[in-house]
Amino acid sequence: MTFSRVCDLSEVPAGEALKVAGGGKEVAIFNVNGELFATQDRCTHGDWSLSEGGYLDGGVVECSLHMGKFCVRTGKVKTPPPCESLEIYPVRIDGRDVFVDFDAGYLAP
């Protein structure tokens, strides 16, 4: 596992999302009540950024293009039209630093 530092914790306040990039991938970091989760940034239904064009409500992000919803913990679809899950990524906090392992994205079983 290779974790890369992506941001300071203050850049992702609770209820917010931040797009980060590394290893040729764009990942959305979501802060759900102080707990961080990371998914692929692009909606699986279209070319749309979930960190910039999504609404985070609890642990669910709604894509603002067609209102599909995903669980940010598992990447699974909660509300269509998307039918494919998001890849999720390991995320780690060390002090104020946030790290993501861009090589370890996977689809939750």
Q: How far is the CB of 72 from ligand FES (least distance, A)?
A: 14
Among residues 1 and 83, whose Cβ is nearest to ligand FES?
83
Angle subtended at Cα 57 by Cα 96 and Cα 13, rounded to the nearest 5 degrees: 20
Among residues 38 and 43, whose Cβ is nearest to ligand FES?
43
The pair of three-digit structure tokens given for residue 96, joined into one six-digit string: 């104020």
- Report yes or no: 14 and 34 within 8 Å, Cβ to Cβ: yes
Q: How far is the CB of 43 from ligand FES (least distance, A)?
A: 3
Among residues 26 and 103, whose Cβ is nearest to ligand FES?
26
Q: How far is the CB of 81 from ligand FES (least distance, A)?
A: 6
User: Using CB under 6 A as the criterion, which residues of the chain lie in contact with ligand FES when the complex forms?
Assistant: 43, 45-46, 48, 63, 65-66, 68, 81-82
Contacts with 92 (C-beta within 8 Å, 6 or more apart), sequence order: 3, 98, 99, 100, 101
Among residues 67 and 108, whose Cβ is nearest to ligand FES?
67
Q: How far is the CB of 26 from ligand FES (least distance, A)?
A: 15
The pair of three-digit structure tokens given for residue 74, joined into one six-digit string: 């598992």
The pair of three-digit structure tokens given for residue 83, joined into one six-digit string: 């039918």
Contacts with 46 (C-beta within 8 Å, 6 or more apart), sequence order: 63, 65, 66
